[in-house]
Chain A
């Protein structure tokens, strides 16, 4: 089993895309070491809510290793209150919703299975109101509610080779730690970490998922009592943000903000009547330290 883990890891090392994996070699070792049929069956099972949460925790721990959590406790509590209030108006109000601000000037936000959401300090610094923050969080909450990331993970795991690699490498790591994957004490957290390192997230979410999360995000934020134009405002902001090319972009596989705004415009008549709901610029600017 150790050999399988090592081979899998070696194959993954330095391979930025699945296409470059030495699949033949992996299949060879995989067939000898595991019962691929039973693994595939396991991968095809739906994740329980607890498993979904554990999976998300593993992925989040991996991300937090690279982008540190902001030490601004006041900001963290504030983002959690906004996020939880918005999530209460979703179809999964009772998940252990957890929100975090990470210290990076990158402008982005990420949703993990099970209700963990990260927003970058770079994004928070560019927002102008609580309704925009609520809109951004609502988009991410919608991804979790619709289990979009889980679908992507399951899609990737629905290959006997990949499921064997992912789960066996995770099991190997966990076994060596007495069932404790990086202190998270759950096997699924290990799978989440593996999913991250194995590149399961290389696959983009379907464009339709992004549009769906935009539509649902606007609805959820409006239900929570915010100005429905918070998320459109964030997309407008993203439309005027430019990168400097110092990294490989997350942009290419996602619809452009202008396209998303065009799609979102179709749903706005349903919420236009709520356009006078609060934006709460003052409370937001005070918390982020930009109050005049």
Chain B
């Protein structure tokens, strides 16, 4: 009985997943800024960009975004761009089963691209969802991939990652000294 209920409740929960996503490449300047020749504030300014200039996003590059603006390629600071939309909000926010997980994606139902037409299920199918049961075996398999501290440290050395001290502006902590 409980298993049946659980299956149905999980099904209801997972019907709420955002099932697909695709990339879009437009952004707008959120302030007056400059199109730079390189990803470097000291590089030449190719053209000034007024606030709300539409740009085509070509690639992410750390603190900079490679864009095409005013018909030419260049770089704009990532924080000088705003992005038009995220995944649409098709239903009530109260139906979101994962809100409290601290999910990565944010959004707003006021987004310009809200209420896009359904074009098909590209992620989990409804059948997948309907048949879902807690999978303890998958959990155990997942736990078998855990990395212990020595393995993580070895991995960091291989990547030439060096820990640094950085104060947490919220707490004043400087955890992260050489490990």
Is B102 close to A, CB under 8 A? Answer: yes
Residues of B in contact with A, size category: 35 or more
The smallest C-beta distance from A95 to any residue of chain B, in angstroms, reads 11
> Which one of B18, B103, B141 lies within 8 Å of A243 (CB-CB)?
B18
Describe A's contact surface by its main secondary structure. Answer: helix
* Chain A residues whose CB sits within 8 angstroms of the CB of B57 once the complex forms: 236, 240
CB pair A183–B136 under 8 Å, yes or no, is yes
> Which one of A9, A88, A275 lies within 8 Å of B5 (CB-CB)?
A9
Residues of A in contact with B, size category: 35 or more
Describe B's contact surface by its main secondary structure. Answer: loop
CB pair B102–A123 under 8 Å, yes or no, is no
CB pair A279–B161 under 8 Å, yes or no, is no
CB pair B124–A67 under 8 Å, yes or no, is yes
- When C-beta atoms are compared, the residue in chain B nearest to A226 turns out to be B161
A/B interface sample: 13 pairs, CB < 8 A: A83-B147, A98-B143, A140-B102, A149-B101, A204-B100, A225-B163, A236-B57, A237-B60, A238-B105, A242-B22, A246-B19, A250-B103, A261-B82
* A residues at B contact (CB < 8 Å): 5-6, 9-10, 12-14, 16-17, 19, 57-58, 60-62, 64-69, 73, 76-77, 79-85, 88-91, 93, 96-100, 104-112, 116, 122-123, 126, 128, 130-132, 136, 139-140, 143-144, 148-149, 152-153, 169, 172-173, 176, 182-184, 193, 196-205, 209-210, 212-213, 215-216, 219-220, 222-227, 229, 232-234, 236-262, 264-265, 267-268, 270-272, 274-275, 277-280, 283
* B residues at A contact (CB < 8 Å): 1-2, 5-6, 8-10, 12-27, 30, 57, 59-60, 62-63, 65, 78-79, 81-109, 111, 113, 115-124, 128-129, 132-139, 141-143, 145-149, 151-153, 155-156, 159-170, 173, 175-176, 179
